Structure 1
Amino acid sequence: MTADPTVTRAPAGVPEETPAPVPARVRPARGFGTASPAEKALRYLLLVTVLLLTVGPFLWQLSTSLKGPGEDVYSRTPGFLPTDPTLDNYVQVADTIPVWTYAANSLTVAAIAVVGNAVGATLAGFVLARLRFRGVRLVLGLFLATLVLPGEVTIVSQYVTVRSLGLTDSLVGVALPGAIAMLNVLLMRTAFQAVPPDLDAAALIDGANVWQRLVHVALPNVRGMLSVVVIFTFIGAWDDFLWPLIVLNNPEKYTLTVGLQYLNGTFSANPRLIAAGTMVAFLPIVAVFATLQRFFFKGVEEGAVKG
């Protein structure tokens, strides 16, 4: 029997190498991304449940606002979809109360609050995050202390301050207490602290002053958090009810949330008009969030800066 010339053998006295054993296939550990079908079904069920709890009331109010007078909304099993959709409820709301005047007043208050927070919270947050001065920890501690007190505790002192300034029964007096929120200052401070110090130091070496470092270095990297501040400020100013009710006396200067109470008292037995008024107050919030949602989610998730 002749030996195969292609087979090489080890020299004499050297042990032949044994082939390495083939490793057994290891089953990957089950984690969050490798859930079983039952776990995935449970997760989707929870998501659908939360979706129904959050979006369900809005859809029900929208459906009620589109129902005509011939549809009974008090039946034991009311229909979700209107059989004969109509916009007459919105027309009656506009004819009953000056809804567009109230909406313009709310928009004015929200605009003042948004501009005040966008400018004031940005400047204060940049100062607390990037500038070093004596007493910075004391100022930060005072900002944190204001978050402990609920708004109802300081509402009397706020009213006394606004009255002493002669701003009662005015839209400026409604918007002034919320022009700069301490929570927004802390949010902007956290966003500025996430900016790498090397960028700020490089701009300082190049001769940039404080304003140039803020505008050209810091602001482009915190646009996401700034949009979060804008959205939260707009929603808070638009939906505020207690403070405008205390400050305003002239019905022509009422905000939308306060003015809708006339609708509730006048047509307490007609939920269609109340639902239509609710939709009028809710749609601007949807429009603002739809416009800034891309920056909003970026601000929520950002933890680093573009290189």
Structure 2
Amino acid sequence: MWFKNAIFYRFSQTFSYTPEALEEQLLEKAFTPCGSQELSRFGWVSPTNGMSDMLVHAGNGFMLIAGQKEEKILPATVIRQKLDDKVKVIEHEQARKVFKKEKDQLKDEIVIDLLPRAFSKYSKTWALIAPDHDLMIVDASSHKRAEELLSHLRSVLGSLPVVLPDVNQSPSAVMSNWLEQPGEQFQGLIPLDECELRDSAMENGVIRCKGQDLESDEIKLHLEAGKRVVKLALEWQESLNFILQDDLCIKRIKLSDQLKEKMEQDSPDEALECFDADFVQMSLELTRLIPKLLEAFGGEAQRP
């Protein structure tokens, strides 16, 4: 199993939980389906997609957890139509106008009535805990989704001392310089053929390039005109391809053909063993990559 995205956090204090102790804590908030009158519910599930009942998958000093969220689907258009119909009936039968406060109450009644018949949408979010590296990595495409998982983990552990790393140099300025001055690219990180340029002076001034030679004169002209790289496709040591954003979010992670071939050759036959091998390899690659990314942008800034 491989993360598609990675938002990473630094532990500001040592993460002291063993896999067994963490398992015990997560069991208190294991996932159970929504009740008939609940709009949503979050809980912890097996990160192995049912291959094991354990809520913590551990190996090689790493831990993998997963949270699942159930959300009831109540289309706003359906609620609005039912509310309009109900208001019309009241106004017609009672010859009076229905005002906002009463409409809000009627809306709540409609939601309560519809909830037991609503469909559910399920979403799962994985997180990798690497205590030896003081890192926690969440497979999420947005900070909001990552923070939701962290908030629920914090609620079961009592505290979770993690922070988003800060760097000494602007990632946008450094990535722009890599394209302007190819000789100054960071060792092991090779720009590919995709980027997004943004004009800091114009809110809507965005240029997206895909399948382009990023060292071309055309790209250099945009950079000379003041645009800066906010997203850049990179290859890491012939192992991973990904999009790096200027907020250090890693998106669209893909294995290189070389790494994929190597892993297929070494892949165990049993499903859970194969999952574990992928998990350990992913953990090793991400915990090698992230320190190098931080180093590429001048290292981590010291916090007061």
Structure with a larger share of its residues in helix: 1
Bigger relative contact order, structure 1 or 2 (CA pairs below 8 A, ≥6 apart): 1
TM-score (normalizing by structure 2)? 0.23
Greater Cα radius of gyration, structure 1 or 2: 1
More strand by share: 2
TM-score of the pair, normalised by structure 1:
0.23
